[in-house]
């Protein structure tokens, strides 16, 4: 049984660093710089753009540019008032030099990833063994919970008589993915507070680990794609609440797992946040549970051009309606074309003479009745969608109807999402969930579309 250390899910140390912490730092070009070497004094905090900003006092007295033309450091270790820290995924730097006067010369670094609570003497490389993301509020989506609640009413009334909650450690589930990486999902629980004011925390954890230490970005990639999937399910960016990481160290028997924070996983994005966490478009079980998550990450790896138009909006924000339509149409074009050499469905085109239904018809026909019943008239929809796409591409003077464009783009986006998720599920459950089971999310779009298309 795994017992959590008391600081689990309470990222005070991360919070303290975000607020700002002073310490000694060792920027290392490729490998960690030895802690026995002279450190640099500095201040680390979270900047407004959700990057970690490290400002070091430049105490050298040479006139030489301190950076020269060398590459960015891959790792910066630090001994701070908040404990040992590692900065990884360093994305920028700058400097201000002053000579004489009352200003100090400084070096600045910006990084996306932070690990806190490490013994920096043990750090062997910029690589990591595992990173884990913790989420609150998605345990039912993942189908994994460490707590079971039981409510009982008085006989024949709806007055509550008793309430019990059982928290138990759930076995971890794991699956190997490419490159020696392993995806691990688990549910934890923790109880705190005085006896008359208990707090039960039971987040789920989604982790990626490897026996041999790997570049952080390599382990982070599947976690980002799974976060995209969760955001797609809830139609809004779902930020991870907290994280843990195991850096590359000699002694693998850590007393507690260091905290991990990453701006890509945990900071709010430019996209819309989740509005409704109650009823997602689909659940993880609909795509095959953990095995489905693994298949989704491999689909993203091989066919990012098809995936991008449906998930990028949650990180970057929504584009204008014409751009959204072009992007999703290009995604459909890519997905159908990728299957033309090997499958029958991708070669079928609308048989009606003079029709220009394009690949929108092909994909709609492939997804089949859930979409057809939802949209009402596949042919009219496909003609409108594909001809708008062609006009946007080829007619510079085309007078864009933004609202119609937006409705067509959103419906095509659901179609492409359903097709990709059906593939991941290896059955048609996702398309049924999206078009038949998510009426509360899609009815407005459907009504508006039918009005615009006259169907």
* Interaction site with Zn ion (CB under 5 A): 350, 352, 355, 357, 379
Q: Which is nearer to Zn ion, 355 or 391 (CB)?
A: 355
- Tell me the C-alpha distance between 12 and 97, whole Å: 34
Q: Which is nearer to Zn ion, 350 or 425 (CB)?
A: 350
Using the structure block, give the residue that is written with the tokens 């970690």. Answer: 52
> What is the smallest separation between the CB atom of 361 and Zn ion, expressed in angstroms?
5
Q: Which is nearer to Zn ion, 357 or 420 (CB)?
A: 357
- Tell me the C-alpha distance between 352 and 16, whole Å: 65
| H-helix or E-strand spanning residue 98 | none
Q: Which is nearer to Zn ion, 215 or 356 (CB)?
A: 356
Six token digits for residue 403: 């609202």
Using the structure block, give the residue that is written with the tokens 């991708």. Answer: 346
Q: Which is nearer to Zn ion, 377 or 379 (CB)?
A: 379
Question: Using an 8 Å Cβ cutoff, are 60 and 73 in contact?
Answer: no
> What is the smallest separation between the CB atom of 411 and Zn ion, expressed in angstroms?
16
Which residue blocks in 24-106 are alpha helix, DSSP H?
Answer: none
Question: Using an 8 Å Cβ cutoff, are 331 and 417 in contact?
Answer: no
> What is the smallest separation between the CB atom of 359 and Zn ion, expressed in angstroms?
12
Six token digits for residue 23: 């310490």
Positive or negative: CA dihedral 353, 357, 363, 364 = negative
The contacts of residue 99 (CB under 8 Å, 6+ apart) are: none
Rg (CA), the chain: 26
Question: Using an 8 Å Cβ cutoff, are 271 and 239 in contact?
Answer: no
Q: Which is nearer to Zn ion, 123 or 364 (CB)?
A: 364
> What is the smallest separation between the CB atom of 199 and Zn ion, expressed in angstroms?
58
> What is the smallest separation between the CB atom of 352 and Zn ion, expressed in angstroms?
5
> What is the smallest separation between the CB atom of 448 and Zn ion, expressed in angstroms?
22
> What is the smallest separation between the CB atom of 355 and Zn ion, expressed in angstroms?
3
- Tell me the C-alpha distance between 117 and 133, whole Å: 16
> What is the smallest separation between the CB atom of 403 and Zn ion, expressed in angstroms?
23
Classify strands 199-201 and 106-116 as parallel, antiparallel or unpaired. unpaired
- Tell me the C-alpha distance between 327 and 275, whole Å: 24
* 289-302 helix and 304-311 helix, angle to the nearest 10 degrees: 110
Question: Using an 8 Å Cβ cutoff, are 26 and 206 in contact?
Answer: no
Q: Which is nearer to Zn ion, 208 or 357 (CB)?
A: 357
Q: Which is nearer to Zn ion, 352 or 440 (CB)?
A: 352
Q: Which is nearer to Zn ion, 385 or 435 (CB)?
A: 385
- Tell me the C-alpha distance between 14 and 172, whole Å: 26
> What is the smallest separation between the CB atom of 327 and Zn ion, expressed in angstroms?
23
């Amino acid at each position: 049984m795994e017992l959590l250390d008391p600081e689990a899910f309470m990222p005070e140390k991360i919070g303290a660093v975000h607020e700002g912490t002073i310490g000694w730092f060792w920027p290392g070009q490729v490998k960690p710089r030895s802690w026995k070497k002279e450190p640099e004094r500095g201040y680390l905090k979270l900047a407004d753009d959700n990057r970690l900003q490290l400002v070091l006092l430049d105490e050298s007295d040479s006139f030489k540019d301190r950076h020269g033309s060398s590459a960015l450091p891959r790792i910066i270790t630090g001994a701070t008032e908040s404990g040992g820290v590692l900065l990884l995924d360093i994305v920028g730097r700058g400097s201000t030099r002053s000579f004489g006067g009352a200003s100090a010369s400084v070096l600045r670094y910006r990084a996306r990833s932070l690990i806190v609570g490490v013994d920096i003497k043990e750090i062997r490389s910029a690589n990591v063994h595992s990173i884990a993301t913790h989420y609150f509020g998605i345990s039912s989506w993942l189908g994994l919970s460490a707590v079971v609640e039981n409510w009982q009413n008085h006989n024949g009334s709806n007055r509550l008589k008793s309430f019990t909650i059982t928290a138990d450690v759930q076995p971890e589930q794991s699956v190997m993915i490419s490159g020696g990486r392993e995806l691990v999902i688990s549910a934890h629980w923790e109880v705190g507070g005085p006896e008359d004011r208990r707090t039960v925390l039971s987040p789920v954890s989604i982790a990626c680990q490897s026996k041999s230490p790997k570049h952080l970005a390599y382990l982070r990639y599947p976690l980002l794609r799974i976060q995209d999937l969760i955001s797609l399910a809830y139609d809004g960016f779902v930020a991870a609440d907290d994280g843990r990481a195991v850096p590359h160290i000699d002694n693998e028997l850590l007393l507690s797992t260091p905290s991990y924070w990453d701006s890509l996983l945990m900071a709010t994005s430019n996209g819309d946040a989740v509005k409704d966490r109650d009823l997602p478009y689909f659940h993880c079980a609909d795509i095959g549970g953990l095995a489905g998550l693994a298949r989704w990450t491999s689909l993203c790896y091989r066919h990012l051009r098809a995936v991008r138009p449906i998930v990028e909006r949650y990180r970057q924000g929504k584009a204008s309606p014409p751009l959204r339509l072009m992007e999703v149409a290009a995604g459909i074009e890519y997905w159908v074309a990728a299957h033309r050499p090997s499958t029958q469905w991708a070669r079928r085109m609308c048989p009606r003479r003079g029709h220009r239904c394009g690949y929108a018809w092909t994909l709609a026909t492939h997804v089949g009745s859930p979409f057809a019943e939802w949209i009402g008239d596949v042919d009219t929809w496909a003609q409108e969608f594909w001809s708008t796409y062609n006009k946007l591409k080829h007619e510079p003077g085309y007078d864009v109807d933004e609202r119609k464009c937006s409705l067509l783009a959103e419906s095509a986006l659901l179609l492409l999402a359903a097709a990709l998720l059906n593939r991941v599920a290896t059955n048609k459950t996702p398309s049924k969930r999206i078009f038949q089971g998510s009426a509360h999310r899609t009815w407005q779009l459907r009504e508006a579309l039918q009005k615009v298309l006259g169907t």
